[in-house]
Amino acid sequence: MRLSHSFVKTLHDAPKDETARGAQYLSRAGYVHKELAGVYDYLPLGLRVLDNIKAIVRDELDAIGCQEILLSTLQNPEPWQKTDRWDIEKMDVWFRTELAAGGELGLAPTHEEPITNLMKTYINSYKDLPLAAYQIQTKFRNELRAKSGIMRTREFIMKDLYSFAATEAQHDEFYHKAETAYKKIYDRLGIGEDTYQTFASGGVFAKYSHEFQTLTDIGEDTVYYNADRSVVLNEEVLNDEVLAELGVKREELQSAKAAEVGNIFTLKTKYSAPLGLEFMDQDCKKKPVLMGCYGIGISRVMGVIAEKYADDKGLVWPEQVAPYKYYLISIGEAGTKKAEELYVGHEDDVLYDDRDLRPGEKFADADLIGLPYRVIVSDRGLEKNEIEVMNRATGETKIFPADTFNFKTIAF
């Protein structure tokens, strides 16, 4: 993309109530636009980051045999009434509205009820199981407080996956596959090192659920971990019984702030029983389907990465999620001619700062936008047959010969 063609401009100030550093940078660098508290628009650069995150998630889920779908955002109250979750007392985050023709509708906060209902059409026999389906979709939640930019919002993008099994063994097998896929996903997103699978409360249907928590000071949750971090648990399960079971002592645990970037739940028959999702088993008996659900906060993950990968100048995207790999800066007449040549054929990897601005302004924007490599093509450099490349994360600079320059050979 050519910056001269972009309608988005970097801003001197973030919205005044934006306090988290990553959130300020996302606004100032033009990744997102704050519409109202807890509601954000994604601009071209932000959309590319989201798409990169989604692509990694899709890749790993497809690899374990999940099928992608897209469920409706407008929701029928009926299945929610059957599970007793239409009640605003039980589910306080509902956004609900009325149909002009009469009757009520909900705006999707999650999809257990609709997908359970939908599967009644397709799951009849044990031969139809196991199966797993996921979607990446906008969710609406009437959160009491929006927080930390795109990390807690009232409209957000979630990946939600649901598994359906005939037996506990089938369920467990998929659950473990999902655990492994999640670890790969967070590794590929660049937050694997700081993301821990934690023991969390599982409700009445399983002893624990698991959350994936990324350590960060602006996280809303507190997690507790032992010295080698082999046991990490959420605050709500920090009690004597659980500690004994996990074989850890309270005094050997440390605490840290963390953000929940995903979770996995064994649901057993929590939704299938009230909604009547059954299958005919080999013994010719009808049994309720065993379910699991698995979430990842796609837009929250983007917020967490922005928070963790930043310095005092701006964002520092890991390569896998960066909207473009190279920030190309042209300086001077010969520099511009050469940069134009280099840009051709690399439109998808290069953000080309071809604007008529002072070099200092381009450098500042390059730092703020935070692409992995800054490539400077200047008159002065070309006189010496030189192109300068800087690694945004390390600040390291390398000189490449201009006449044989190729983006693909940049690595350090």
Residues that bind ligand ATP (CB under 6 A): 110, 141, 143, 152-153, 156, 158, 260-263, 295, 297, 299-300
CB closer to ligand ATP out of 204 and 411: 204
CB closer to ligand ATP out of 56 and 331: 56
Cβ atoms 265, 293 nearer than 8 A: yes
SS3 label, residue 314: coil
Shortest distance, position 261 Cβ to ligand ATP, whole Å: 5
CB closer to ligand ATP out of 69 and 334: 69
CB closer to ligand ATP out of 160 and 365: 160
Query: Any idea what the Cα angle at residue 11 is, between residues 10 and 17, rounded to 5°?
Result: 135
Shortest distance, position 156 Cβ to ligand ATP, whole Å: 4
CB closer to ligand ATP out of 129 and 291: 291
Shortest distance, position 38 Cβ to ligand ATP, whole Å: 7
For the record, the structure tokens of 241 come out as 């019984």
- Owner of token pair 């002065």: 380
Cβ atoms 15, 27 nearer than 8 A: yes
CB closer to ligand ATP out of 60 and 260: 260
CB closer to ligand ATP out of 153 and 378: 153
Shortest distance, position 57 Cβ to ligand ATP, whole Å: 12
DSSP structural state of residue 103: S
Shortest distance, position 110 Cβ to ligand ATP, whole Å: 6
**d(C-alpha 289, C-alpha 274), whole Å:** 11
Cβ atoms 109, 77 nearer than 8 A: no
CB closer to ligand ATP out of 267 and 377: 267
Looking at beta carbons, which residue is closest to ligand ATP? 297
For the record, the structure tokens of 341 come out as 């040549």
For the record, the structure tokens of 169 come out as 């063994």
Shortest distance, position 203 Cβ to ligand ATP, whole Å: 11
Shortest distance, position 211 Cβ to ligand ATP, whole Å: 7
**d(C-alpha 277, C-alpha 183), whole Å:** 30
Tell me the pairing of strands 386-391 and 397-401.
antiparallel
Alpha-helix runs per DSSP H in 314-386? 333-343, 359-369, 379-383
Shortest distance, position 280 Cβ to ligand ATP, whole Å: 31
Shortest distance, position 86 Cβ to ligand ATP, whole Å: 17
CB closer to ligand ATP out of 166 and 302: 302
Extended strands (E) in 298-346: 326-331
What are the φ/ψ torsions at residue 48 (nearest 5 degrees)? -65, -35
Tell me the pairing of strands 232-234 and 221-225.
antiparallel
Closest CA to 369 of 329, 398, 396, 338: 329
**d(C-alpha 314, C-alpha 301), whole Å:** 18
Helices 44-63 and 298-308 cross at an angle (nearest 10°) of 110
Segment holding 306, helix H or strand E: helix 298-308
Rg (CA), the chain: 25
Q: What is the DSSP string of 145-179?
A: --BTGGGB-SEEEEEEEEEEESSHHHHHHHHHHHH
CB closer to ligand ATP out of 41 and 347: 41
Shortest distance, position 411 Cβ to ligand ATP, whole Å: 33
